[in-house]
Amino acid sequence: MKISEIFKKRDKGISFEFFPPKTEEGKKQLLTVAKELSTFDPMYASVTYGAGGTTQERTRDVLYMLKEETGLTLMSHLTCIGATAESMDSLLNDYKEHGIDNILALRGDPPPDVPDFDPTKGEFSYAVDLVKFIKKYDYFSISVAVYPEVHQEATSAEADLEYAKQKIDAGADFGISQMFFDSRYFLDFLDRAYKKGINIPILPGIMPITDLNKIRKFASFCKATIPKEVEDRMSGILDKPDEMQRVGIDLAVQQCEDLLDNGVKYLHFYTMNKSEVVIKIIEALKERLG
């Protein structure tokens, strides 16, 4: 089912992100996680896709497995950097034949082994080019990424917002945010987006912090700010994973409650292919989520 249609029927809801495992055992574990999380009636689940199509086969296999084994509405991430129109056309037609009708259109990261890579010289220079390409099929519901703390390559917050609007005007039905840990960044982005004329649903990307050192690396890469409160509460328990998980769950619940209190209707969880933490967060919010 197209996610754009789901938004017309549901005024609140949750969604999940998975990544394609590298092993058969990982796929089995993911299927278990997906079935556990499907009991919470999510709007959809998405599967990530490596830059340059590096996980194309695994992403496709996971999508088809989940479609066959679960009742989840599914969305494929799709990066276009380094791709050709021919290869993209082949993949999108394959998705269409298998009933995958939702795409998160992304530029993707430059290949790390090509230091002087220039994305503007390819057939798809930016995500907006992919949105326009997908739109021609008149079949897919399209999502795009947005950045509450500004994309690391953007020259300014205003330039980044302008580019987000270009992607949306090209045909995106909804947006999903990069992870953030201070709700003010996301709420400020929503306010600026509204004033810019952006009125599609924008889902906040929730990344529970259960391993501060790993999150520091993620945050450094995408320039997401880790609040002092988080550092203060977690820095002293780096060697106590159970305690860190408990604190991480509490912080994520607080973040979600703050977003819901400020009118946010939908929550998108980065699961890291695990269910325990996300389940505890959702159960703590169940009265708010309905």
Residue of 17, 158, 229, 257 with catalytic role = 17
Amino acid at 113: D
Tokens of 79: 């990066």
- Name residue, tokens 């409650």: 257
CA atoms within 13 A on the CB side of 227: 15
288: tokens are: 């708010």
Please report, to the nearest 10 degrees, the dihedral formed by the alpha carbons of residues 79, 81, 87, 91 taken in order. Answer: 0
Whether residue 130 contacts residue 88, with contact meaning beta carbons closer than 8 Å, is answered with yes
Contact between residue 108 and residue 79 where contact means Cβ atoms under 8 Å apart: yes
Cβ contact 150:157 at 8 Å: yes
Our answer to whether residue 287 is catalytic in this structure is no
Mention every residue, 6+ apart, whose C-beta is less than 8 A from residue 184: none
- Beta-carbon neighbour count of residue 93 at 10 Å? 12
Tokens of 252: 């994520």
Q: How far apart are the first and last CA of the chain?
A: 22
CA-CA-CA-CA torsion for 194, 205, 166, 19, nearest 10 degrees?
-160
Sign of the C-alpha dihedral, residues 168, 173, 179, 183? Answer: positive
CA separation for the pair 268, 3 (Å, rounded): 13
Catalytic site positions: 17
